[in-house]
Amino acid sequence: MKTRRSFLKISAAGAVGAMALGPMACTSAAVDKKSFGVGLQLYTIRDAIANDLQGSLKKVSDLGYRNLEMASYADGKFYGMAPKEFRKLVEDLGMKIVSSHTSVEAEGITAASAQKLADAHAEIGVEFCVQPWIEEKDRNVETYKRMIADWNKVGEIMKNVGIQFGYHNHNFEFLPTDGIVPYYDVFMKEMDADLITMELDCYWATKAGQDPVEMFNKYPGRFRLLHFKDMSKEVAEPFYTVDKDDITAVGAGLIDYKRIYDARETAGLKYFFVEDDNQGNGFPFEGIQTSIDNLTGKILV
């Protein structure tokens, strides 16, 4: 009986311990990362996709990513696939395509080509289509103004099919030019806010000496999309060349993403995407795993 009583006491203590520790442990182990709605810009894994599209997307889904932003559109196809075909591939893996990076070159775009662009994106079902880049030769105030006039037209065509056009920055837009700062004095002023939203890349803005939260406060509601990537080196002064050697996983660097995320309502945020231009320096999936672990474990909670 003594042995049995001792056993029962030990069992009861174990049960109490399980009740005390179990829920915490289970909660940690059973977190549904997809419920956080973390997105990934597929440019981050471009080499892996080139070698194995379906296998790479499955890895992304298995890591807990929910939303995708594409980075491959050409002649009505995405990643070489018809819109509905690529959309089915993604949705069968438990993810959703919400945005696409597609360049409208400085030379301009015709109404017909803009309509084809819009129709293909409407067919795949994105909510946003984003201009991601400006060539170095076109980085001057005159060309910026001409491009933005074209983007406003594209934005109107996109709006007619239910898509919001957008612009994704780097750091060169903040370089003082001809006595002005183009991002604030040209882009924000001349873009039709109803037709073009800003996709703020928080890393590149920080490199240029900008504070994303201050930007949200100055232009509330203008930032419906954000790019999250971190920087490992402190910027002593604004840096305007596209040098990205210090990119690191979200939460592994110096940018306070919790502060940025906490200001999401002011920003007007709808979606954010993890991005690593350097593809994790050869380890893209390890990098995006660290990012989503940090986001769902300490930044978004």
pLDDT bracket for residue 267 (50, 70, 90): very high
Assign 212 to helix, strand or coil.
Answer: helix
Domain count, the chain: 2
Q: Are 174 and 139 in contact (CB under 8 A)?
A: no
Length in residues, the chain: 301
Q: Are 271 and 99 in contact (CB under 8 A)?
A: yes
177 and 120: one domain?
Answer: yes
Higher pLDDT, 237 or 160: 160
Question: Which residue, among 134, 217, 141, 129, has the nearest Cα to 176 in the 3D structure?
Answer: 141
Question: Which residue, among 40, 22, 11, has the nearest Cα to 287 in the 3D structure?
Answer: 40
Predicted confidence at residue 64, as pLDDT, reads 98
- Judged against a pLDDT cut of 50, whether residue 17 lies above it is answered with no
Predicted confidence at residue 29, as pLDDT, reads 54
Question: Which residue, among 182, 176, 239, has the nearest Cα to 206 in the 3D structure?
Answer: 239
5 and 140: one domain?
Answer: no
92 and 128: one domain?
Answer: yes
Residue percentage of the chain with pLDDT more than 90: 82
59 and 98: one domain?
Answer: yes
Strand extents, DSSP E, the chain? 39-41, 67-70, 73-74, 77-78, 96-101, 128-131, 164-168, 196-201, 225-228, 230-231, 247-248, 271-274
pLDDT bracket for residue 30 (50, 70, 90): confident
59 and 171: one domain?
Answer: yes
Predicted confidence at residue 13, as pLDDT, reads 40
Q: Are 295 and 274 in contact (CB under 8 A)?
A: yes
- Judged against a pLDDT cut of 90, whether residue 297 lies above it is answered with yes
Compute CA 295 distance to the chain's CA centroid, rounded to the nearest angstrom: 13
128 and 43: one domain?
Answer: yes
- Judged against a pLDDT cut of 70, whether residue 237 lies above it is answered with yes
Q: 124-146, pLDDT tens digit by residue? A: 999 999 999 999 999 999 999 99
41 and 84: one domain?
Answer: yes
Strands 247-248 and 230-231, sheet pairing: antiparallel
Predicted confidence at residue 188, as pLDDT, reads 98
216 and 81: one domain?
Answer: yes
Find tokens 């311990």 and name the residue.
17
Q: What is the mean pLDDT of the chain?
A: 90
CATH number at residue 83: 3.20.20.150
Range of the domain at 197: 34-299
- Judged against a pLDDT cut of 80, whether residue 12 lies above it is answered with no
Predicted confidence at residue 16, as pLDDT, reads 37
290 and 152: one domain?
Answer: yes
Instruction: Return the minimum-mean-pLDDT range out of 13-22, 39-48, 80-89, 194-203.
Output: 13-22
Predicted confidence at residue 162, as pLDDT, reads 98
144 and 202: one domain?
Answer: yes
24 and 135: one domain?
Answer: no
Quickly list DSSP for 105-120. -TT---HHHHHHHHHH
- Judged against a pLDDT cut of 50, whether residue 22 lies above it is answered with no
23 and 66: one domain?
Answer: no
Give the whole-angstrom CA distance, residue 272 versus residue 57.
Answer: 18
Strands 271-274 and 247-248, sheet pairing: unpaired
Q: 65-78, pLDDT tens digit by residue? A: 999 999 999 999 99
Query: What is the mean predicted confidence (pLDDT) over 155-160?
Result: 97
